[in-house]
Amino acid sequence: MAYPMQLGFQDATSPIMEELLHFHDHTLMIVFLISSLVLYIISLMLTTKLTHTSTMDAQEVETVWTILPAIILIMIALPSLRILYMMDEINNPFLTVKTMGHQWYWSYEYTDYEDLSFDSYMIPTSELKPGELRLLEVDNRVVLPMEMTIRMLISSEDVLHSWAVPSLGLKTDAIPGRLNQTTLMSTRPGLFYGQCSEICGSNHSFMPIVLELVPLKYFEKWSASML
């Protein structure tokens, strides 16, 4: 999860988030080079009196500043499209979890089990135990197996919500009457926090998401105890 005064992204926990971080660094380097070149040219224009009378109508210059931006856009677009298709791809999910947004809590249903569903409410500040995080802890965590492909079906029963977990690279809108889907896979166990990322009313800030990723044998024990 994020820590105070953090400027960058959270540590990647899924392959998709790792790809997003690499794409971010790739694009940021291109932006940095463009900004440096523009700043250098502006500084030259302000500090030197040397001019070339035929520069502004030179065919070579116009060709370069037309082709170069096109090449840069292609260098950005191709990795971006690759990641978009990776995020939409779903191959043989191990488990399907249906998530419904409400004002102002989440409900979860493990559709592969006959009767495994629960609501997840934020724990009020007055009831927090030592070490628990304000506005982020819930009474029922979503327990999932790590290193398994999980399909999340996301919708809403009232207004627009958004189910987002930054460290997993997840952000999917919960829309009434529409079922969106996304996939997640954690490469390591742990607790991963998220929040509703769509303004949904007065208590929008009070519907956190907590995923608990555990090894498969612990998930089987948990699911057996919940049935």
Instruction: Give the range of the structural domain holding residue 199, as residue numbers without chain letter.
Output: 95-226
Q: Please indicate whether residue 4 or residue 146 has the higher confidence score (pLDDT).
A: 146
What global pTM score does this model have? 0.84
pLDDT of res. 219? 93
Same domain, 82 and 111: no
pLDDT of res. 45? 81
134 in a domain, yes or no? yes
Same domain, 79 and 103: no
Q: Which residues of 71-94 are buried (b: 16+ CB within 10 A; e: fewer)?
A: eeeeeeeeeeeeeeeebeeeeebe
Query: Using 50, 70 and 90 to split pLDDT, how confident is the model at 80?
Result: very high
Q: Of 60-69, 77-86, 163-172, which gets the smallest average pLDDT?
A: 60-69
Same domain, 105 and 37: no
183 in a domain, yes or no? yes
3-state secondary structure of 123: coil
Same domain, 123 and 62: no
**Residue 25 φ/ψ, nearest 5 degrees:** -65, -40
Beta bridge partners of 152: 97, 182
Mean pLDDT of 184-193: 92
Q: Any residues with CB less than 8 A from the CB of 152 and at least 6 apart, and which?
A: 96, 97, 98, 99, 163, 170, 172, 181, 182, 183, 184
- Greatest alpha-carbon pair distance for the chain in Å reads 82
Residue with tokens 């947004």: 101
Please state, in angstroms and rounded to a whole number, the distance separating the CA atoms of residues 16 and 169: 6
- Short-list 18, 2, 17, CA closest to 182: 17
Q: Please indicate whether residue 28 or residue 91 has the higher confidence score (pLDDT).
A: 28
Query: Using 50, 70 and 90 to split pLDDT, how confident is the model at 227?
Result: confident
Mean pLDDT of 130-138: 91
The answer on pLDDT for 29 being more than 70 is yes
Question: How much is the mean pLDDT over the chain?
Answer: 90
